[in-house]
Amino acid sequence: MLKNYFKIAIAVLQRRKFFTFLSLFVISFTLMLLTVLASFVNKMFNDNYPDRKRDRSLYINAVTMTGPESMNRSMLSKSLVDDYINKLKTPVSVAISTWASSTNTYLNNKKISLQYKYTNAAYWDVLDYDFTEGKPFSRQQLDNAERVAVISEHLKQEYFGGGEVVGKFITADDIQYRVIGVVKDVAASSQMFFSDMYLPYTVSKKDYRKESGYFGSFRVILLAGRVADVAKMRQEYEHMASKLPITQSGYDKIESKAQDYLHAFLDFGRLGTAGNVYLAIAIFVCLVMFLPAINLVNINITRIMERSSEIGVRKSFGATSWTLTGQFIIENLILTLGGGLLSIPLSLAALALFNYLSLIDHFHLSLNVPVLLLSLLACIVFGLLSGVYPAWRMSRMHVIVALRTAS
């Protein structure tokens, strides 16, 4: 039966080539947009370089203090990390890092813009950066405040132009650092991990060790020894945070959450915004699919109206409404899958154009298996959206009306 439906669908598509072209264009263009969107979302939320231990990690962006008439929210201080977080029992390692700061450096009258962030030595144990040269700084180098730097491949090319660079010196923010390692570039969208230079926090002009209170300059990543310990680690941290003594007047509550990666990534503003982002993406996807689907519904109704005689004859020989509905839906799915195949080269071209324009540093989109599966799912949903109503409407046409319309 499916073979017959396929033959009928091909014959129908060849009958009115303009309608076929119009339908395929609408389907393939819509699916191209969805594929690019799926690739973008996949890259933003699922790219795990250098955060390959994500299933064992919890992320702490901020601590919030509230009172009857005031609220204050900030990143965490070094004293909070030392006095409380480092004393937690469940984490096997605690990484800290500052927000990346921008500066300019000059080499042979050439200005180079770069970003740098400060970390501790445990940062390199928690995160798995790919080193193409050298190695990260050690705990001893951090304690000794050695002016050493791990740089990105991009900065290496910009500053040195290539070759072996470990042992060479680079100047940034009017300070000279010795390069001890080079890592593969991180996409600029991964703000937690992106930087051009990674420096020991002890070499900063600002002495982070003198930060007092709970508000400071660090984001924290807790690493559990096993995936099964993550929930326990979250509970231990949030219990500790709720028991922090309040030493500032005007506040009566402290809140700080240890979150999974996705919620921490979305939680740079206020707590609890992840749901809004999901809703916004869902609404956008529905709009992208719904409007072309309406146009395709009209095209399909016009196409099926031309087949009134076929519908009338088949009904007069006993074909049921369910049989005709199923046939029209399958024909529409075949048409949609054809548009889906055409959308693949269009999507590849759109992704190549996006990567060529380099709108986001080191942010390269690709068409991988999850994106292809999402595109296939979009094909099926799109085919059903645009095919069910025309098929249902025409299958319910009375046999006399169908034959009269045909004549």
C-alpha closest to that of 116 among 140, 130, 97, 132: 97
Q: What is the pLDDT of residue 271?
A: 41
Q: How far apart are the first and last CA of the chain?
A: 28
Torsion-angle region of 260 (φ positive above 0: left; ψ -120 to 50: alpha; else: beta): beta
Query: What pLDDT, on the 0 to 100 scale, is given for residue 91?
Result: 97
State residue 142's pLDDT score: 95
Q: What is the DSSP letter of 194?
A: -
Residue that is written with structure tokens 């990666």 in the block: 261
3-state secondary structure string, 331-366?
HHHHHHHHHHHHHHHHHHHHHHHHHHHCCCCCCCCC
What pLDDT was estimated at residue 81? 95
Q: How many other β-carbons are positioned within 10 Å of the β-carbon of residue 233? A: 23
pLDDT digits (tens, 9 = 90+) for 335-358: 888 888 888 899 899 889 888 888
Surface-to-core class of residue 398, CB atoms within 10 Å of its CB (0-12 exposed, 13-18 middle, 19+ buried): exposed
Pick the closest to residue 23 from 291, 288, 296, 290 (CA basis). 296
- Give the pLDDT confidence score for residue 200 in this predicted structure: 97
- Given this model, what pLDDT does residue 48 score? 85
Q: Which residues, listed in sequence order, are joined to residue 336 by a DSSP beta bridge?
A: none
Q: Which residue stretches of the chain have pLDDT < 50?
A: 269-272
φ/ψ of 234, rounded to 5, equals -65, -45
- Supply the DSSP symbol for 259: B
pTM of the predicted model, to two decimals? 0.78
Angle value at C-alpha 114, between 111 and 120, nearest 5 degrees = 145
Amino acid 270: pLDDT: 47
pLDDT at 1: 65
Structure tokens belonging to residue 186: 């991180």
Q: Which amino acid is at 362?
A: H
